[in-house]
Amino acid sequence: MKTTKSGYRRPASLTKAPMHYCAGCGHSTAHKLLAEVLDELEISERTIGVAPVGCAVLAYFYLKCDIAEAAHGRTPAVATGIKRALPDRIVFSYQGDGDLAAIGLAETIHAANRGEQITVVFINNTVYGMTGGQMAPTTLVGQVTATSPSGRESATMGGPLRMCELLNTLDQPYYIERVALDSHAGVLATKKALRTAFQAQVEGRGYSFVEILSACPTYFHRSPLESLKFVGGEMAKQFPVRIFRKEGVALHA
């Protein structure tokens, strides 16, 4: 790692490419934490990531490891194919809420249910960022988006999907945790969760899933700072931050 004058350290697994993410976007922080974990576990040279279709589709510009780009939502199925072909490599998927919980919900559940030895990093920002801030499966009730202009109404649009809770009903997952990138403590907790998840894979323990509550200031229509408050406030109320599954045991059934 290199330390700049400001104290910021760029992990070796992060490229120097300037990120295209909006100011205050959670993807940037999540990428950096992911890169730090790859560094610390010394696995970047045997890791293959699968980028989603979503704002993070260009993750390969930023992460210094092999990366494939999946069709929208098929990300865990692609990760499954890679991991089954190369069982001694570390394989992760990195997905937004549209990719993971809408179009790719079947792939998400079945990869988890088979206990694929992969790590799924789930960026829940309650909206479709890439396509212009439409409603996501995780959009809060009442939240205004491009396709719920009067606010999400559960009677006709359904309520927010709680993915950790849903996956926690399955037998096979080894580790499931939800964290929030809303504060300094949240950043540290996110890093710890990612590290635990990848460590589980390094040890061949099974399927690991980390949901990261993450800001999308652009489509929250809030300032970056207000967005962090939204993540730690309304979002965390709907999506409780906790460990759901540890060492294969459900903690919150």
Partner 1 sequence: MKGAVTVESKRVLMTGNEAAAEAAIRAGCQCYFGYPITPQNELIAYMAKHMPAHGRVFIQAESELAAISMVFGASLAGARAMTSSSSPGISLKQEGISYLAGCQLPAVIINVQRGGPGLGNIDPAQGDYFQATKGGGHGDYHIIVLAPASVQEMHDMTFQAFDLADQYRIPVMILADGRVGQMMEPIRLQEGPAPIPPAKPWALTGAKGRAPQCIRSLFLEEGALEKHNLALQECYRRIAAADTKLEETHTADCEWLIAAWGTCGRIGKGAVQKARAQGIKAGLIRPLTLWPFPYERLARLGAQVKALLVVEMNCGQMLEDVRLAVNGATPVHFSGYPGGRVPTVSDVFNALTALVRQ
Ligand X SMILES: Cc1ncc(C[n+]2csc(CCOP(=O)(O)OP(=O)(O)O)c2C)c(N)n1
- Chain residues binding ligand SF4 by CB under 6 A are 21-22, 25, 27, 55, 125, 129, 216-219
**Residue 77's binding partner, choosing from ligand X, partner 1, ligand SF4, none, with beta-carbon cut-off 5 to 8 A by kind?**
partner 1
| Window 30-49: residues binding partner 1 (CB under 8 A) | 44-48
With CB under 5 to 8 Å by kind, the binding choice for 192 among ligand SF4, ligand X, partner 1, none is none
Q: Tell me if 86 contacts partner 1 by CB under 8 A.
A: yes
User: Which one of residues 79, 210, 215, 241 is an interface residue with partner 1 (CB under 8 A)?
Assistant: 79
Asked if residue 100 binds partner 1 (CB under 8 A), the reply is: no
Q: State the CB neighbour count (10 A cutoff) for residue 171.
A: 9
Residue 44 interacts with, from ligand X, partner 1, ligand SF4, none (CB under 5-8 Å by kind): partner 1
CB-wise, 27 or 152, nearer to ligand SF4?
27
Distance (Å, whole) CA 86 – CA 135: 36
| Minimum CB distance to partner 1 smaller for 110 or for 192 | 110
CA dist 164 and 240 (Å) reads: 10
Q: Indicate whether 80 belongs to the interface with partner 1 (CB under 8 A).
A: yes
- Determine contact, residues 52/121, Cβ cutoff 8 Å: no
* From partner 1, ligand SF4, ligand X, none, interface partner of 235 (C-beta below 5 to 8 A by class): none
Among 47, 80, 125, 139, binds ligand X (CB under 6 A): 125
Binding status of residue 82 toward partner 1 by CB under 8 A: yes
Number of residues that bind ligand X (CB under 6 A): 18
Instruction: Give CA–CA dist 154/101, Å, rounded.
Output: 17
- CB-based contact 200:210 (threshold 8 Å): no
Per CB under 6 A, does 105 bind ligand X? no
Assess 182 for contact with ligand X (CB under 6 A).
no
- Measured from the CB atom, is 119 or 227 closer to ligand SF4? 227
> For residues 155 and 46, what is the distance between their CA atoms, to the nearest angstrom?
47
Name 34's Cβ contacts closer than 8 Å, sequence gap at least 6: 13, 63, 92, 94, 121, 194
Q: Is residue 26 close enough to count as binding ligand X by CB under 6 A? A: no
Q: Does 115 bind partner 1 (CB under 8 A)?
A: no
Residues at the contact surface with partner 1, assessed by CB under 8 A:
44-48, 50-51, 57-58, 60, 63-71, 74, 77-86, 89-90, 106-107, 109-110, 114
